[in-house]
Amino acid sequence: MIGTTPAKQYDLLRLLEAELREMGAANVTLLPYGALIATVPATVSHPAPVVAFCAHVDTTPQFTGAGVKPIVHHAWDGSDIVLPDDPTQVLSARELPYLATKVGDDIVTASGTTLLGADDKAGVAIVMTMARHLLTTGGLAHGTIRLCFTPDEEIGRGVHPELPAALAADVAYTLDGADRGELVYETFSADIAHIVIEGVSVHPGWAKGKLVNALHLMARIIDTLPQATETPEVTEGRQGFWHAVTASGTAARAEITIILRDFDGAKLAARGEMLRAVCNAVAATEPRAKVSCTITKQYRNMREALEKDMRPVEMAVAAYEASGITPFFTPIRGGTDGSRFTELGLPTPNIFTGMQEIQGPREWISLQDMAAAVGVCVKLAEGWAKG
């Protein structure tokens, strides 16, 4: 662990640092809080906005990403893809409509027992490929391009408050999206709740009238929260949710971590008040217990800021169309580093990478989708230089 960032993320950051220096990027800097930034110098003499391209180096902690064995299924013929280390993990065009459109593409998977890590190593690869192309291809007119690789995005710590100033960009784009053509400028707003239940610990043999079991109160809180209408497994589209992500403890003391999500700020606040009310109601049933509920802000819907100036989105639309790609807009049921960047004053929509079935063993991606994303980034770099 280096600071709050796991050392294994630094392993990748240092590899990227070395590769950026090798390809000729300028101002390559690994910042103290784990972000790596670099510059592709401008090739135009006139003033042009500074454009940043960003990706995160971590993967989700919810499924193992250790010992990944990537497999490239060249010119995939449309047949079922059986992942060799766990043959029960199968990618089938019958079940995956987007995969069915990729016959002939080069499909990358893991082996069935780990993540592939396309979220967001695909974004990292796209940004690095774009940077090398800009640095080695003559005749491309672009302003100053900034590159940014962040740690800890999956746990909401990717954008340090000092990073936008260090990046010194006028506009940015994250490479952290899904289907080819997806363009995101609307995300969830997010809070996280930490609930602590302190019971009364007594030997169970002599517990009558004395023991207050914190685990029982913890279970009651979770069971009282609305299950049928407001959890991830029963919501979609623009519906928000509460989601218990960890629960642990003993009879004496228990803790729950719950994330709260909604596109609408007022609804998110109401969901937080509902959670507090449930905690208070359960606490009232057992006055000898202590129940606390602390809700902390994580990130906010980037649309709130981007709607004030849609030019970053409009420029992305133009770059998609110049690349022969029809853009479509998806309100993402999650957040990106762009959510935090935008909140801190750096407008940052999100561009597709092609990643699919993310954060599980069936994760896959098309190399052709990744190449299309590189093309969009190059068009963006050129487009902002034209004004």
Active site residues: 58, 153
CB atoms within 10 A of CB 203: 8
HSE-CB of 265 using CA atoms within 13 angstroms:
8
What is each CA distance from 73 to 116, 143, 367, in whole angstroms?
14, 37, 10
SS3 353: coil
> CA quadruple 130, 134, 137, 141: dihedral positive or negative?
positive
| Contact between 217 and 230 (Cβ < 8 Å) | no
Q: Which of 184, 277, 164 is nearest to 226 (CA)?
A: 277
DSSP characters over 240-277 = -EEEEEEEEE-SSEEEEEEEEEESSHHHHHHHHHHHHH
- As beta bridge partners, residue 196 has 255, 292
